[in-house]
Structure 1
Amino acid sequence: MAAPPGTPLPTSTARWILLTTVLGSSMALLDSTVVNVALPRIGRDLNAPLTALQWTVNAYLLTLAALILLGGSLGDRYGRRRVFVLGVTWFATASLACGLAPTPGILIAARALQGIGGALLTPGSLALIQASFPPEDRARAVGIWSGFGGIGAAVGPFLGGWLVNGPGWRWVFLLNVPLALICVPVALRHVPESSDERAHGRFDLLGATLGALALALVTYALVEARQGSLTVALTALAGVAAGIGFLHVERRAPDPMMPPSIFASRQFTAVNLVTLCVYAAFGGFFFLTALQLQVVSGYSPLKAGTAMLPTTALMLLFSARSGALAERIGPRLPLTVGPLLCAAAMLLMLRVGKDAAYLTDVLPALLVMGAGMVTLVAPLTATVLASVDAGRAGLASGINNAAARAAGLVAVAALPLLTGMDDEAYRSPDAFDTAFGHAMPICAAVLAAGALLAAATIRRPPADCAHPECTHHGNVTTPPLEPPAPHKEREERREQPRHDPHPPAIDNPPS
């Protein structure tokens, strides 16, 4: 039975709830920012080929992207606290398996399990805030949550580099265990349970399975395409067939995970296509740059992790202003200029080679990259939410978040193939530098395509966005999630006139 939100700030219970959600979401957020820094050491210690490093990233993204919408539905039906605690426990157990993995295969399998835990806990952290706090306190609670999340995003690469340099890469994963040991007891003792009374037991399991299968098969085909075997070709065809089956199921399912009707909004469809372009480029950039700085430029893991701080710092400092500016002038210009700035930054990264000087070679590119991300990320999120009815904001945000993760997944799989990297490329500075020089223009071209698409298709929404997440976002790897509003509020918001200058806020803010 769902309890009405009734935990006002600044009570002690409210502080415990915020602590729980911050700890839980920090586990997933830290994992998404620190693993790339550890990849060269993982490859060396486990004698892993480049394909194993790709799968170390992609196994996690695969299960997370495929199941994150289902994870939110499970919380609504069976209890948000229950599913959140399950997700945190699952994530920590899989992290322990990652930290103890003796072989690349076991590490990859544990990463896939970790993604399942992430799909359970990521939607749950913000859903708990929405279900626990009264409407007048939610924006402030989300702001506190988002602020700590932004700090975590900023600290993540530095912390990852320090761990890899010090106790070793395994602690990048083992760090999640003590966080879970704090988070779970606090959640069970202090966080009230909540659910959606009108949620039913029907879940789109077939759709989720086909979606995951399509992503897995296509990713496998891209990663292994250098072999040019019949098996790879058949795998690619099977992936396409699974994708077609997924679309067919979504059209016919009574409660689809990704209802086709939401794409009746041309603005929603357009902004998701822009998202695919932008986050594919980001996924390739952050994966390859962490390797380039260490393999080619000779940076230590700590120095490589610290090198990325300016991008996140700019996001933390100026995302709110960017969101406010886009609210005044509309999203079309920011979503056109932002990707072009990021494309310029990736071309500037061509200066980063052997013995690259941080101040003259690396920092200028990262500052331009940060400026581009500040310009586009908050307006992109706001446009996604404003392009659908308020009652579907949670679904729209979940689809957009899943699209961003899937785009990064495909990019990490495809770029080594497109740039001619073999399994030993990351062990050779010259070979990797050559491939990196080919990859950055590809990423820049994808961003330019996203900018052109935004210029041609994005229009000003009919109502301003009053979502806290539109101006509080420090994650540089994925857009934030918006949990579904409780049923009663969804109905009230459908009745709210679209021209209302002060629409009710739908609360919360990646990943």
Structure 2
Amino acid sequence: MSIAASSLSFIDGSILNVALPAIRASTGAGAAEVQWVVNAYTLPLAALILLGGALGDHHGRRLWLVIGTGLFGIASLICALSGSLEMLLAGRALQGVGAALLLPNSLALLNGVYEGEQRGQAIGTWAAAGAICAAIAPLIGGWLVEHVGWPSIFYINLPLVAAAILVALTRVEEVSEPEKARLDGLGAGLATLGLGASTYGLTLWSQKFALTPTAAITIAAGAALLAGFLLWERRLGDKAMIPLALFGNRCFSSLNLMTFLLYGAFGGSLLLIPYVLIEAGGYSPIQAGLSLLPLSILLGLASPLMGKLAVRLGPKIPLTLGPIIVGIGLLLGTRIAEDQAYWTHAFPAILTLSIGMALAVAPLTSTVLAAVERHQTGMASGFNSAVARLGGLIVVAMLGAVLVNSGEALLRPFAATLVAMAVAAGLAGAAAFFGLRGNWRRQREPITA
């Protein structure tokens, strides 16, 4: 059930990256609109995922998993039936709200069933199943884009929605911890508005790297709202969605800094690589989907093993090496050109990216969850997922200078962007190394505020 629900997010993201050129062509969207097709989903997901975890803790994780999954299904249908870019963006935003409810509760339910090494293996299997779904989805999606049209890619979500809801209602017991839950509607509202304004301003700025009055005002407003969010959370103290005192612990802070940097770099690459292969390399949507197949296969095969090994041996080595290898893969990606063979240019980059992420994904998730007490798992998984999406949100908002180009003109800004993301991935590895040094105990005692 947890796997079926959470896989919706993996599937949706991997299909959309293959379909973006077709969406842009059919709707006449500019670079900013293309960015918002991605970020209209990521913004509410990043801003509301903490509230989603808290609602599950308070009212029942199964209940809010079902509600979130149902919303995701309704939103997918809206996207599929959309006759305009505006309706598509509205559907994408509702998908983000649904994902913010289902993701933290699916992982919290899974985390509560297992202990120790079994928990690491279960989380690895959870990540692997998502990767496998993400591997299959672009192939089906690419065929649909070519032969049926891009709106049809959203229909793929509907069977998974039905299966997840059915299993949740018939096979899963309700779990809640209302005495430990933290509901903070004002904090969620401030975070959503602050992220929305900041993202809009960054999107405008990234078109020509020029700070127009509108961009400056929205960025400043976003920063003020986010500052208000932090002040409000500080005032709430231990009743906050995410107690700020937790950030006094180097391990917790460094893992989330690593998550922000790594997933920002990785999310940006997953958008750019298939986009450039289609727009500059002449790939069809199906070929672009096939090009990413090694990534999902390696993640699917290696994640259960890495989750288990990280519990047994400790997370420091995989969480340090994984991001560095991702950075090397991004540097290899700068070799992608207009006239080149997949096996000599794109494949080495994608393979190296795959190895790096396979090392890091499951150990990162299990380490974050092991760093808090059981009643905080909804909050911890929600916050770490929010940080991961926030990294991607900001990176995508800053890709306007790349997406405004087409054909060969894409290649130079694409390569420069990959170099910048490689630096971010390297810094993610450094954050994990210094944060876990002498701070991770084999017995994984919970971190408390």
TM-score scaled to structure 2, two decimals?
Answer: 0.89
Matched, 1:404 2:388: yes
| Secondary structure of the corresponding residue to residue 402 of structure 2 | coil
Q: Distance in 2 between matches of 1:147 and 1:342?
A: 18
- CA RMSD in angstroms comes to 2.8
Q: Give 2:79's match in structure 1, choosing from 94, 98, 121.
A: 98
| Structure 1: distance between partners of 2:83 and 2:340 | 34
1:360 corresponds to 2:341: no
Q: Unmatched 5+ residue regions in structure 2?
A: none
Q: Which of these residues, 202, 226, 231, is aligned with residue 222 of structure 1?
A: 202
* Residue 295 (str. 1) matches residue 279 (str. 2): yes
**1:416-495 aligned within 5 A:** 416=400, 420-421=401-402, 423=404, 425=405, 428-464=406-442
**Residue 140 of structure 2 corresponds to residue 159 of structure 1:** yes
Whether the 8 Å CA contact 2:322–2:358 is kept in 1: the answer is yes
Instruction: Within 5 Å, give how 1:4-83 maps onto structure 2.
Output: 18=1, 21-83=2-64
Q: Distance in 2 between matches of 1:231 and 1:46?
A: 25
- The 1-side partners of 2:115 and 2:334 are apart by 48
Which residue of 234, 247, 250 maps to 2:230?
247
Conserved in 2, the CA contact under 8 Å of 1:52 and 1:108? no
Correspondences of 1:372-383 after superposition (within 5 Å): 372-383=356-367
Shift of 1:346: 1.1
User: SS at 1:431's partner residue?
Assistant: helix
Query: Residue 311 and residue 439 in structure 1: after superposition, are their counterparts in 2 closer, same or farther (change >3 A)?
Result: same
- Quote the offset at 1:195 in angstroms: 2.8
Larger Rg: 1
55-64 vs 84-93, greater mean Cα deviation: 84-93
Q: 1:205 to 1:333 in 2, by over 3 A?
A: same
The answer for the alignment partner of 1:204 in structure 2 is: 184
Give yes or no for the alignment of 1:339 onto 2:317: no
SS at match of 2:399: helix
Distance 1:138 1:404 in 2: 24
Contact in 2 for aligned 1:24/1:180 (Cα 8 Å) = yes
Q: CA shift at 1:309, angstroms?
A: 1.1
Q: Secondary structure at the match of 1:175?
A: helix
Query: How far apart are the structure 2 equivalents of 1:297 and 1:393?
Result: 44
Counterpart residue number, 2:217: 234
Letter in 2 for 1:237: A
DSSP 3-state at the match of 2:320:
helix
| Mapped pair 1:87 → 2:68 | yes
Q: CA distance change for structure 1 residues 248 and 160 in 2, over 3 Å: closer, same or farther? A: same
| Partner Cα distance (2:124, 2:262) in 1 | 25
**Equivalent residue letter for 2:39:** N
Distance (Å, rounded) in 1 between the aligned partners of 2:312 and 2:20: 42
CA offsets 1:444-479 (integer angstroms, 9 cap, x no match): 12122223333444315443378xxxxxxxxxxxxx
How many residues are paired up? 442
The C-alpha deviation readout for 1:148-172, integer Å capped at 9, x for no partner, is 4342132222232222223221121
1:268 aligns with 2:252: yes
Which residue identity does 2:242 align to in structure 1?
M
Q: TM-score, with normalisation over the residues of structure 1?
A: 0.79
Paired residue type of 2:300: L
Tell whether the 8 Å contact from 1:130 to 1:138 is kept in structure 2 after alignment.
no
Amino acid at match of 1:445: V
The answer (yes or no) to whether the contact 1:96–1:174 under 8 Å persists in 2 is yes
Distance 2:14 2:80 in 1: 16
Q: Percent identity?
A: 41
